[in-house]
Structure 1
Amino acid sequence: MNGDALFSIGEVARRTGFTVKTIRFYSDRGIVSPAGRSPAGYRLYSFDAIARLGLVRTLRDLGLDLATTRKVMDRERSLPEVAAAHADALAVQIRTLGMRRAVLMAVAERGSTPEETALMHTLTQLSEDGRRRLIGDFLDAVFGGLGDGPGMAGAMRSMTPELPVDPDPEQIKAWVELAELSQDPAFRAAVRRPAEDLAAQYARTGARTPHRDLGATVRDLVGPALAGGVGPESPEADPVVAALTAHCANALSRADDVDLRRHLLTRLEELHDARRERYFELLAIINGWPAPEALAPVLAWSVQALRVRLPRRGLPRSG
């Protein structure tokens, strides 16, 4: 019967594609044992050995080490168990490679210095806990000491990136840039000031909802004027500026005077920060949120409209 046929090591090599040396190696380690010997003392192998060698090739091609391969062959470990563990390990490797690719792409696109490249590489190597600590440190710098009520907690959540378990290349690339941006002390200071304003509004209103976000108010008030071709220096812009200052006066419980308008101008200049807008663009990519509406045009209009209506002396310098 063919099932009882025995094959020389050369014939096994021809059928399996392994070299004679490799078959001897597996044979010496007990992974594939000869079924007998020829009269001249040469090893002979059965169909079962050829089948086992086929499985060995499959397992090795999948990346299993020799010790694990032997345990599977000897049924010391089940194949499903090993496959699951190896799949998990490969997922980690794939994610690491994706992170490295993101760094290389960023270096190529941005012309990064060696120091920036080293920082980006470090950021990609962080574990999930490491990423949480990094972002937690950033959020503490922005919101620390400002209260922990529902409103502030919601504001914090709205700035928290959550990189998925299996991120796509764009999410990885966005994470690297956002993490780098979050370490910038100047950026941290710029985003803390609006958080302080929000906390102050909650302190004044108690449990009540604070006044509407300034950026959203600017978008709603200025957007139609900008779309309608109203210039920030034109008389037609006066009612829009009046509505903006009224919002600020109401939010701060202050009179609408020169000092309040200067305060509003400073706040608008802080909001009109390309880094801040970029942070929320990156956040949307990482979290899978819709892309945020760009506020730069309406903020630029508002800043110019306020500037031309304020006395020149003591004006804040533009950012």
Structure 2
Amino acid sequence: MDDDGLFTIGALARRTGLTVKTIRFYSDTGIVPSTDRSPAGYRLYDINALARLDLVRTLRDLGLELAVIRQVLDREISVPEVAAAHADALEVQIRTLRLRRAVLRAVAKRGSTPREMNLMHKLAKLSDEERRRLVSDFIDDAFGGLEANPEFVAMMRSAMPDLPDDPEPEQVDAWVELAELTQDPDFRAAVRRMAEYQASERAQGDTTGLHHDLTEAVRDRVGHALASGIAPDAAEAVPIVNDLTARYARTFNRTDDEDLRDWLLTRLEIANDPRAERYWHLLAVINAWPAPPSLAPVFAWLTEALRAGTSSRPTTV
């Protein structure tokens, strides 16, 4: 500092920790102009220039562009306004970085090929709205134009994938698998067949909606059979299957149906595609919901028992 309280560019560099080159650049561009010149023509800066330079360094450290910094210094916009806007921008960047980190960890875990990694990255960076649209399109394609089970369709529409801002690799993995599953033509066709069957049932008077009590009965009876090691074609399976067939008959008002066994077998084969259960499992992983218990072994057992002819038409229902 000279006798007039002015700093040379070298003194300013020592006070701020910035290089002479950087300060000269800020001076040349008018962001921190020099206050005066020495008799020898060297730039001199006052205490206000020092404060201005400190602010510039702070704003640069926070990642602001020079054009925005110039607006702050010229008082075209306030520091709080800049801080709020920059915080919002950083939030987006942080979310993007977290998503990239989760994708990379998922790729490392599953040993993905470059093509799979590219697909994972594209699907993972979709917005919430784009993810919901992808699943909604699948539901529209499967149930559109049909008078299927409205309670079930409403449940599907309310259960959308909600990938968190900082997802775990397992959640990214599950979202990618769910997206691929909803775009699988064979799975779409299978769900469409299920919807058409439901619509046909409704046309014949079945408006019972979801059947939680019936599902629990199947889970309990067949679960016990599985735990006891009873094979679907064993004699011990007959009373179990007969009881459950009777429950289905009462639920769907088919007590006088001569083809009850064939009807039930067809219903189970159409309605219990293992991929449908996988769909709900993946949603639970993505949304961090409790994992739903698997019913696939239960319904597979009942289906095999019906195929094996272990059921007989109940005499009373």
Asked if TM exceeds 0.5, the reply is: yes
8 Å CA contact retained: 1:100, 1:121: yes
Shifted more, 144-153 versus 171-180: the winner is 144-153
Cα pair distance change 1:199/1:103, threshold 3 Å: farther
Aligned to 2:92: 92
Structure 1 position 260 matched with structure 2 position 259: no
Superposition pairs of residues 55-134 of structure 1, within 5 angstroms: 55-134=55-134
Structure 1, residues 92-130: CA drift from partner, whole Å, max 9, x if none?
223333333344334333344444333333323434443
Q: CA deviation at 1:67?
A: 0.4
Please give the root-mean-square deviation of Cα atoms over the aligned residues, in Å: 3.2
Q: How far apart in 2 are the matches of 1:252 and 1:114?
A: 54
Structure 1 position 218 matched with structure 2 position 218: yes
Structure 1, residues 220-272: CA drift from partner, whole Å, max 9, x if none?
432233344444343332222123323444437344544224314523xx625
Aligned to 2:240: 240
Aligned to 2:252: 251
- The one-letter code of the counterpart of 1:263 is T
Superposition pairs of residues 124-203 of structure 1, within 5 angstroms: 124-147=124-147, 150-164=150-164, 166-169=165-168, 170-203=170-203
Aligned to 1:7: 7
8 Å CA contact retained: 1:103, 1:120: yes
Cα pair distance change 1:202/1:297, threshold 3 Å: same
Partner SS for 2:52: helix
Shifted more, 214-223 versus 77-86: the winner is 214-223
Aligned to 2:298: 298
Q: CA deviation at 1:182?
A: 1.3
Unaligned runs of 5+ in 2: 312-317
8 Å CA contact retained: 2:120, 2:176: yes
TM-score (norm 2): 0.81
Q: How far apart in 1 are the matches of 2:294 and 2:262?
A: 28
Unaligned runs of 5+ in 1: 312-319
Q: CA deviation at 1:15?
A: 1.9
Q: CA deviation at 1:308?
A: 2.7
Q: CA deviation at 1:293?
A: 1.3
- The one-letter code of the counterpart of 1:271 is N
8 Å CA contact retained: 1:16, 1:54: yes
Q: CA deviation at 1:184?
A: 1.0
Shifted more, 67-76 versus 232-241: the winner is 232-241
8 Å CA contact retained: 1:96, 1:125: yes
8 Å CA contact retained: 2:131, 2:161: no
Q: How far apart in 2 are the matches of 1:96 and 1:225?
A: 49
Q: How far apart in 1 are the matches of 2:220 and 2:146?
A: 28
- The one-letter code of the counterpart of 2:209 is P
Cα pair distance change 1:257/1:204, threshold 3 Å: closer
Q: How far apart in 2 are the matches of 1:215 and 1:191?
A: 19
Aligned residue pairs, count = 305
Cα pair distance change 1:77/1:300, threshold 3 Å: same
Cα pair distance change 1:188/1:262, threshold 3 Å: same
The percentage of aligned residue pairs carrying the same residue is 59
TM-score (norm 1): 0.80
- The one-letter code of the counterpart of 1:302 is L
Q: How far apart in 1 are the matches of 2:167 and 2:57?
A: 31
Cα pair distance change 1:15/1:200, threshold 3 Å: farther
- The one-letter code of the counterpart of 2:48 is D
- The one-letter code of the counterpart of 2:269 is T
Q: How far apart in 2 are the matches of 1:172 and 1:211?
A: 30
Cα pair distance change 1:148/1:198, threshold 3 Å: closer
Partner SS for 2:34: coil
